[in-house]
Amino acid sequence: MVRYTAVAGRNVTLNCPGVNEHSLVDALVWKTSQTVAEFVNGLPIVRNPRVTLLPDNFSLHIRPTVASDTAEYSCLVNDRHSPEAIVDLLVQDVPDPPGRPLVVSFTSRSVHLSWAHSQDSRNSPVSYFIIETR
């Protein structure tokens, strides 16, 4: 399995393991839980306008990436599947903001706050918060 990590908003190209410009490819399918792109009868067919199937080596080009592109992609060549033909893509994006802060207690010199963590971390766990005051 090949692993890729990408930043949301940038482009990424996933190479089909074992396939290059000299490979004899009659049919090729890129899949996650559903078909993403395929090469059949000499024609590329894609299901998403952000996805391109590169003609020279059948790589999957995604532009721009979003967190929901995170998946395990399999590349099926000439109706043959091998474990090496799996590409794991992790797309990291800015997490959703946390919930509205709630003042738990305060004194003249301090305040204790609480808030709900973001609902969707978008594959980027929060490591710290910055609290600004006016």
> Residue 113 has which token pair?
């706050």
Least confident of 38-52, 89-103, 116-130: 116-130
Digit-coded pLDDT (tens) for 4-33: 999 999 999 999 988 877 888 889 999 999
Backbone Cα Rg of the chain: 21
Which of 81-85's residues contact partners 24+ apart within 8 Å by CB, and which partners? 82/18, 83/1, 84/1, 84/17, 84/18, 85/16, 85/17, 85/18
Q: Do 120 and 96 form a contact (C-beta atoms < 8 A)? A: yes
**Is pLDDT of 82 > 70?**
no
Of residues 91 and 78, the one with the higher pLDDT is 91
Task: State the average pLDDT for the chain.
Answer: 90
Lookup result for tokens 């004194």 = 107
Percent of the chain with pLDDT over 70: 97
Lookup result for tokens 């391109």 = 52
Q: Structure pTM?
A: 0.79
Q: What pLDDT, on a 0 to 100 scale, did the predictor assign at position 113?
A: 93
Digit-coded pLDDT (tens) for 25-56: 889 999 999 999 999 888 999 999 999 999 88
Of residues 122 and 37, the one with the higher pLDDT is 37
Lookup result for tokens 């910055």 = 130
Half-sphere exposure of 100 (CA within 13 A, CB side): 1
How far is residue 19's CA from residue 31's CA, in Å, rounded to a whole number?
A: 16
Mean pLDDT, residues 56-65: 94
Sign of CA dihedral 69, 72, 76, 77: positive
pLDDT band at residue 83 using 50, 70 and 90 as cut-offs: low
Q: Tell me the three state secondary structure of residue 67.
A: helix
